[in-house]
Amino acid sequence: MVADSRTDSLAALLVEDNPADAELLALRLEPDPGAPGAAPVRLLHADSAGAACAMLGAVAVDVVILDLSLPDARWLEALHRVRAAASDVPVIVLTGTDDEALALEALRAGAQDYVPKPPPDGATLRRILGYARERQHLLRELDQAVRTSELAALRWRLLAEVGRILATAVPTDPALGDVAALLVPAAADAIVLLYVGDDEVPSVAEAAHVDADRAAELRRRLADLLATPLETLDALRHGPLEPAAAPGPLLASLGLGAGIAVPLSVAGQARGLLGLAVPEARRAAADDIEFCRSLADRIGQALERARLFRQAQRAIAARDRAFGIVSHDLRNPLGTIQICATALLDPKPPPLSGIRDMARIIQRSVAWMQQIVHDLLDRASLDAGRLALERRPTAAAEVIGAAQAMFAPVAEEAGLEFLVESEPDLPHLDADPDRLLQALANLLSNAMRFTPAGGHVALSVRRASEREAAAAGAPGAVRFAVRDTGPGIPPEDLAHVFDWFWQSRRRGRSGAGLGLAIARGLIEAHGGRLAVDSTPGRGTTFWFTIPAGVETNAPVRA
The 3-class SS string of 194-215 reads EECCCCCCCCEEEEEECCHHHH
pLDDT for the residue numbered 153: 81
Q: What span, in angstroms and rounded, lies between the C-alpha atoms of 367 and 381?
A: 21
- CATH class for the region spanning 387-547: alpha beta
Q: What span, in angstroms and rounded, lies between the C-alpha atoms of 187 and 155?
A: 7
Domains 169-297 and 387-547 in one fold: no
Cα dihedral sign, 86-89-94-98: positive
What pairing do the DSSP bridges indicate for beta strands 456-463 and 190-195? unpaired
pLDDT for the residue numbered 62: 92
Question: Smallest Cα–Cα separation from 295: which of 170, 145, 165, 150?
Answer: 165
The angle subtended at Cα 476 by Cα 471 and Cα 479, nearest 5°, is 70
SS3 458: strand
Lowest-confidence segment of 7-21, 126-140, 460-474, 509-523 by average pLDDT: 509-523
8 A C-beta contact, residue 462 and residue 420: no
Residue 103's φ and ψ, nearest 5 degrees, are: -65, -45
What pairing do the DSSP bridges indicate for beta strands 429-431 and 392-394? antiparallel
8 A C-beta contact, residue 44 and residue 58: no
Question: In this predicted model, what pLDDT tens digit does every residue of 266-299 receive, in sequence order?
Answer: 877 777 788 888 766 555 556 777 888 888 888 8
Q: In this structure, which amino acid lies at residue 430?
A: D
Q: What span, in angstroms and rounded, lies between the C-alpha atoms of 135 and 281?
A: 23
Question: In this predicted model, what pLDDT tens digit does every residue of 389-427 receive, in sequence order?
Answer: 788 898 999 999 988 888 888 888 889 999 999 998 898
Q: What span, in angstroms and rounded, lies between the C-alpha atoms of 155 and 160?
A: 8
Terminal alpha carbon distance of the chain: 69
8 A C-beta contact, residue 93 and residue 63: no
Q: What span, in angstroms and rounded, lies between the C-alpha atoms of 6 and 8?
A: 6
For helices 433-450 and 396-414, the axis angle rounded to 10 degrees is: 30
Domain boundaries, the chain: 10-142, 169-297, 329-383, 387-547
pLDDT for the residue numbered 1: 32
Average pLDDT, rounded, for the chain: 78
Residue 558 pLDDT grade (very low, low, confident, very high; cuts 50, 70, 90): very low
pLDDT(243) > 50: no
Question: In this predicted model, what pLDDT tens digit does every residue of 88-140 receive, in sequence order?
Answer: 899 998 887 567 787 788 888 888 888 888 888 888 888 888 888 888 888 88
pLDDT for the residue numbered 285: 53
- Which CATH number describes the domain made up of 169-297? 3.30.450
Q: What span, in angstroms and rounded, lies between the C-alpha atoms of 286 and 69?
A: 48
Higher local confidence (pLDDT), 361 or 174: 361
pLDDT for the residue numbered 305: 84
SS3 63: strand
Q: Which helix (H) or strand (E) holds 192?
A: strand 190-195
Question: In this predicted model, what pLDDT tens digit does every residue of 436-457 receive, in sequence order?
Answer: 888 888 899 889 988 999 999 9
8 A C-beta contact, residue 205 and residue 215: no
Q: Does domain 10-142 have CATH number 3.30.70.1290?
A: no
Residue 533's φ and ψ, nearest 5 degrees, are: -125, 135
CB count within 10 Å of CB 550 equals 12
Question: Smallest Cα–Cα separation from 268: which of 304, 308, 319, 223?
Answer: 304
What pairing do the DSSP bridges indicate for beta strands 477-484 and 456-463? antiparallel
What value does the mean pLDDT take over residues 373-385? 64
8 A C-beta contact, residue 152 and residue 284: no
CB count within 10 Å of CB 425 equals 6
What value does the mean pLDDT take over residues 6-19? 82
Q: Which helix (H) or strand (E) holds 431?
A: strand 429-431
pLDDT for the residue numbered 454: 93
Residue 458 pLDDT grade (very low, low, confident, very high; cuts 50, 70, 90): very high
What value does the mean pLDDT take over residues 479-483? 94
Beta strand extents in 289-345 (DSSP E only): none
pLDDT for the residue numbered 483: 95
CB count within 10 Å of CB 108 equals 8
Question: In this predicted model, what pLDDT tens digit does every residue of 163-198 receive, in sequence order?
Answer: 888 887 665 557 888 888 888 888 888 888 888 777
Residue 35 pLDDT grade (very low, low, confident, very high; cuts 50, 70, 90): low
8 A C-beta contact, residue 538 and residue 488: yes
pLDDT(219) > 90: no
pLDDT for the residue numbered 378: 63
8 A C-beta contact, residue 38 and residue 69: no
